[in-house]
Homo-oligomer: A and B are copies of this chain.
């Protein structure tokens, strides 16, 4: 009978690069890049904690950068799928796409674990695996 699970681990990085795995689709540099800026991370955390759609002006009060900068950051975060913009009269409110964001992060975590040769039967904390 043929192998049932897990496409066998490639012998070398060169070979590994050729074989497709969930991690290839999941580990999205664009998402990471969006959250990789300290200012943006603060903005996201701020809006997330506020737990409601916030206007650009409101958010700008949280950090020391210019409002125009905040506007650009929020726009970028929205383009990255992290925030959801809503025009409401003359204000624009941004809110965190909680489920989408945490879902992406969890999918990445799963994709990474999926590559780990030792399935770590729950609670295992050992890093590296082979």
Contact = CB atoms under 8 A, between A and B. Distances in A.
Given A46-B16, A50-B16, A29 B23 contact: no
Interface residues of A, number: 69
For the complex formed by this chain, how many copies does it contain in all? 2
A22 to B, nearest CB: 10
A12 interface: yes
Contacts of A53: 128, 130
A67 interface: no
A88 to B, nearest CB: 13
Contact of A32 (B17, B41, B45, B101): B41
11 contacts: A9-B52, A10-B50, A16-B47, A27-B45, A29-B38, A33-B33, A33-B36, A52-B130, A97-B128, A105-B105, A106-B109
